[in-house]
Amino acid sequence: MLRHRVIPMVLLDGYSVVKTIKFDVRRNLGNPITVARIYNTRDVDELILLDIDAAKEQRRIDLVTVEDITRECFMPLTVGGGLRTCEDIAEALAHGADKVAINTIFLEDPSVARESARVFGSQCIVVSLDVTCDSDGRYILHSHSGGRVRRSFDEAIALCNECEVGEILVNSVDRDGVMTGYDIALIDYAARRTSIPIIAAGGAGKPEDCAMIVKAGASAAAAASMFHFTSITPRTCRDAMRDAGIPVR
């Protein structure tokens, strides 16, 4: 039986933890190792660590920070930010990451995802897709690098299927940081176009939101603001999912 997960997301601007609102306004939250230690005490299912400036600044996530976190914290870790080649992915895995998340390079050259899934195993490769909804109800992709995305959301999902990646992180830019609930329609739309497990992100504000998004088709509920700025914990969210009849870890 598939057991669903609750996954805290930690966003970096290089070396500090930040939290964005709609990928724009930022609030600095301090040292990533300190934040990871807190999550380590809360028995989280997994942790996602993303450097949101790495691609734009043409660098990769700091692997020393990744290694420091994995030495002290004992939860599966997904790492992303500026990883552009199979060699970059190999180094991230060698420094302690269990999985990697790729965004910009996937949109530019999906063959990197295809080759990485073949070399390292599909379970190691997470494709991160950042999505807004325009006034006509169409889903529009965005790149971490800030460049123009020429692929549609549907094309990107089809490429994920073709490349046989392990998971898709679908992040609603419109809901990012506002804590008004996930974009249920977005996740339902994505889930109907792939059998690849989907991690939903963007908008979680209360434990019941996690249960609702899993019922919409997500395999896992990711959140940041809810855990940074409220007393809600991943365990509270798992309890809400369990109460809704959803199997959890």
Residues forming a β-bridge with 222: 7
Nearest residue to 107 (alpha-carbon basis) of 139, 59, 148: 148
Catalytic hit among 88, 130, 176, 209: 130
Nearest residue to 113 (alpha-carbon basis) of 59, 43, 48, 167: 167
Contact (Cβ atoms closer than 8 angstroms) between residue 189 and residue 182: no
Contact (Cβ atoms closer than 8 angstroms) between residue 129 and residue 119: no
Contact (Cβ atoms closer than 8 angstroms) between residue 174 and residue 141: no
130 catalytic, yes or no?
yes
Sign of CA dihedral 189, 194, 197, 202: negative
Q: Which residues are part of the catalytic machinery?
A: 130
